[in-house]
């Protein structure tokens, strides 16, 4: 393998079809084909429709990524692909394409964990970033705090016991009649509202676990109670109050992890890391408690293949055994667990 290998990353875990080309530390291209407009009419991602659209988009997206990077398929040294977690039908499209290319080109195939890839996206923006650090994982399917002790050493030291924060945002948005995706809509409305509604009593302290199902239910019950009284909710205030509580739980957990581990570098990862209040809260906590916080650019918050290519690069550099051509998609995939 050459010193700066050229790696093709492929990502199809949900409703973005993405391919990227990485050469060493240099990102040559990162193409994303989003299905948001297709799924918006349904109020959320429909797995079967997502899979069909991935089938249509995958080869053109790969070709575009290679063309923008100025490389040919025969220039590739390896392929990295998200094999889990995500929608199994959607994942299978990317995995199948990656296996076919790896076989045809006779190059290594790297099976990439979606959560680890989101964390690894930070290396693209911050080349100086080195473990150990803590990662605040906030996405539609995963929420928690991970400890990163090496480029290939991840431990989830705190995670949600039920819904992910992004899932809670989308469900609350749907209850409020806001369009999909709900997270950006709640963030937008919250900027003009006041966090003056106490939906539920928040548990605090080291024993507090991350849980979003109860908060989601509390918001829905609040809306139902108003409806029974013939009253309309103040949408900006509801959004601001929900967002403050949801983000606060995760930010508190991150601060606890810093105190418990002594690690003073924190990175954000996942789609919800684009949320303006989460960024403000983590930054404020960092300044108050004395730790550095890094945020990926918006283009690397959403699902993308650049993060997959970076993760594959680190796996190859560490000598991780390539995946075999019988690699299958895994809908539910975690990283090893631990405790603070």
Share of the chain above pLDDT 70, in %: 96
Kindly state the tokens that stand for 115: 């959560």
Q: What angle do CA 116, 122, 128 make, to 5 degrees?
A: 125
Range of the domain at 278: 130-296
- Residue 264 and residue 308 in one domain: no
pLDDT in tens, 62-76: 999 999 999 999 999
Specify whether 305 is located in the same domain as 278.
no
The answer for residues whose C-beta is within 8 angstroms of residue 255's C-beta and 6 or more apart is 285, 289
Q: Is residue 209 part of a domain?
A: yes
**53 and 108 inside one domain:** yes
The DSSP-derived string for 218-236 is HHHHHHHHHHHTT----HH
- Residue 146 falls within a domain, yes or no? yes
pLDDT at site 205: 47
* Entry pTM: 0.94
**75 and 157, same domain (yes or no):** no
On whether both 312 and 215 belong to a single domain, the answer is: no
Give the CATH number, domain containing residue 63.
3.30.420.40
Q: Residue 201: its pLDDT value, please?
A: 63
Q: What size, in residues, is the chain?
A: 340
Residue 2 has pLDDT above 70, yes or no: yes
Q: Is residue 324 part of a domain?
A: no
Whether omega before 132 lies within 30 degrees of 0, making that bond cis, reads yes
Q: Evaluate whether residue 326 is within a structural domain.
A: no
Asked if residue 214 belongs to a domain, the reply is yes
Residue 93, phi then psi, degrees to nearest 5: -65, -50
Same-domain status, 134 and 55: no
Cβ 47 vs Cβ 90: under 8 Å: yes
Clarify whether residues 80 and 225 are in a common domain.
Answer: no
Q: Are residues 278 and 135 in the same domain?
A: yes
Note the pLDDT tens digit of each residue in 141-196.
Answer: 889 999 999 999 999 999 988 999 999 999 999 999 999 999 999 999 999 999 99
Q: Examine the pLDDT at 209 and tell me if it is beyond 80.
A: no
DSSP 209: P
> Mean pLDDT, to the nearest integer, of 247-264?
95
Environment class of residue 42 by beta-carbon count within 10 Å: exposed (0-12), middle (13-18) or buried (19+)?
exposed
Find tokens 């849980």 and name the residue.
211
The answer to whether residue 325 is domain-embedded is: no
> Each residue of 89-129: pLDDT tens digit?
999 999 999 999 999 999 999 999 999 999 999 999 999 99
Edge-to-edge strand list for the sheet holding 265-269 = 153-159, 143-150, 133-138, 265-269, 292-294
The CA distance from 81 to 13, in Å, is 10
Tally of domains within the chain:
2
Does any domain span residue 340?
no
Query: What confidence score (pLDDT) does residue 141 get?
Result: 86
Asked if residue 274 and residue 241 are part of one domain, the reply reads: yes
Q: How confident is the model at residue 203 (pLDDT cuts 50, 70, 90)?
A: low
Query: Do 196 and 273 fall into the same domain?
Result: yes
DSSP state of 78: E
Residue 208 lies in a domain: yes
Same-domain status, 283 and 310:
no
Report how far residue 142's alpha carbon sits from residue 154's, in angstroms, rounded to the nearest whole number. 14
| Whether residue 108 is found in the same domain as residue 90 | yes
Query: Which residues contact residue 253 at a Cβ distance below 8 angstroms, ignoring those fewer than 6 apart?
Result: 144, 145, 158, 208, 210
């Amino acid at each position: 393998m050459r010193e700066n290998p050229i790696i093709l990353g492929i990502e199809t875990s949900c409703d973005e079809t993405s391919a990227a080309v990485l050469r060493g530390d240099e990102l040559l291209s990162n193409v994303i084909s989003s299905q948001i407009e297709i799924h918006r009419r349904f109020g959320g991602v429909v797995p079967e429709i997502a899979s069909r659209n991935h089938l249509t988009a995958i080869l053109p997206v790969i070709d575009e990524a290679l063309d923008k990077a100025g490389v040919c398929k025969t220039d590739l040294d390896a392929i990295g692909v998200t094999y889990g977690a995500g929608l199994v039908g959607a994942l299978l499209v990317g995995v199948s394409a990656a296996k076919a290319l790896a076989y045809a080109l006779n190059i290594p195939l790297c099976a990439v964990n979606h959560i680890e890839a989101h964390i690894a996206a930070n290396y693209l923006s911050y080349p100086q970033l080195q473990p150990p650090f803590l990662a605040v994982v906030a996405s539609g399917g995963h929420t928690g705090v991970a400890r990163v002790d090496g480029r290939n050493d991840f431990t989830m030291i705190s995670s949600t016991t039920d819904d992910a924060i992004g899932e809670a945002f989308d469900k609350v948005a749907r209850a409020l009649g806001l369009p999909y995706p709900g997270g950006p809509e709640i963030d937008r409305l919250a900027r003009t509202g006041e966090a003056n509604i106490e939906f539920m009593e928040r548990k605090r302290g080291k024993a507090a676990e991350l849980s979003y199902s109860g908060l989601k239910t509390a918001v829905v019950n609040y809306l139902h109670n108003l409806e029974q009284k013939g009253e309309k909710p103040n949408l900006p205030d509801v959004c601001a109050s929900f967002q403050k509580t949801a983000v606060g739980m995760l930010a508190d957990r991150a601060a606890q992890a810093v105190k418990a581990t002594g690690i003073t570098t924190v990175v954000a990862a996942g789609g919800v890391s684009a949320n303006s209040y989460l960024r403000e809260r983590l930054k404020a906590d960092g300044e108050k408690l004395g730790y550095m916080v890094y945020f990926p650019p918006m283009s690397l918050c959403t699902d993308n293949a650049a993060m997959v290519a970076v993760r594959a690069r680190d796996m190859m550099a560490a000598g991780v055994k390539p995946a075999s051509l019988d690699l299958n998609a895994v809908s539910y995939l975690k990283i090893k667990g631990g405790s603070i």
